[in-house]
Amino acid sequence: MNTDNKDKYKDTVFLPKTDFPMRGGLPQKEPEILKQWQGMDLYARLREAGKGKPKWVLHDGPPYANGKIHMGHGLNKILKDVVVKYKSMTGYDAP
């Protein structure tokens, strides 16, 4: 494909304009985000917001001691996290 055809093809692709970078750059952004959360004292604010609400605790067992790690382990932790966050957003004190 020659350069002229590439330029013509480029003009046929209509992508939305966005301020989001093409790459997330998490290793660089994560420290900035954590610093912002610490500056806001976010965890203390979440704990304060939970005062007086019914307590809801998920008792998670110890880490997996036998067998090889697999995708199911990750899924297990993700699903537990989703449930705790759901309970927190639906009126429970779920630390």
Integer Cα distance of 4 and 10 in angstroms:
10
Nearest to 52 by CA among 91, 89, 25: 91
Measured from the Cβ of residue 92, the count of other Cβ atoms closer than 10 Å reads 16
Q: What is the pTM of this model?
A: 0.65
Integer Cα distance of 49 and 88 in angstroms:
10
Contact 64, 73 (CB under 8 A): yes
Show pLDDT as tens, one digit a residue, over the chain (95 residues). Answer: 565 666 677 678 877 888 888 888 999 999 999 999 999 999 999 999 999 999 999 998 877 778 888 898 889 999 999 999 999 999 999 98
What are the boundaries of each domain within the chain?
A: 18-89
Integer Cα distance of 80 and 72 in angstroms:
12
